[in-house]
Amino acid sequence: MKNMGLFNFGGAKPEIKDEKEGYLAIIYAAIAADGIVEQEEINALLVTIANKSIFRGLDLNDAFKRIQKIHKESGTVKGIIEAAAPKISEGYKATVFATAVDFMLSDGTVASAEEQMLYDLKSALNISDSMAKNIVDVIVIKNK
């Protein structure tokens, strides 16, 4: 019998705290979309975090624990996107989308699960079709 939340002694459902964590969560979702999170992808993520001022002051361990718990509880990267997207401000939506696309296209191929993640992310961030296409075109050129 599944409990109804009445005896949820584990605490509240994990939530994305702020925009920094939302951004990190979406990049993590892009990495995890193909079902495999490789160390080199995590290393690339850490380099990205080190190079972007928005991530200053972010407690990585704390953020990763929350993101992974959301991933585990939802069972999908879409669950991460749905938790993270509302935390992204209008001014950062295209940047976050472009960063996710860049991570996804870095290996040169896009699996169907990754493509679905991009559609889900585009929708959740309210990115127009033309903006999404422009971003993907630029990232493809960048990664040649």
- Give the per-residue pLDDT at 20: 95
Spatial distance between the Cα atoms of 114 and 14, rounded to a whole number of angstroms: 24
Q: Tokens 């669950």 appear where? A: 79
Which residues in the chain come in under a pLDDT of 70? 1-12
User: How large a percentage of the chain has pLDDT more than 70?
Assistant: 91
pTM for this prediction:
0.87
91-111, pLDDT tens digit by residue? 999 999 999 999 988 877 788
Nearest to 122 by CA among 131, 109, 113: 131
Spatial distance between the Cα atoms of 16 and 27, rounded to a whole number of angstroms: 13
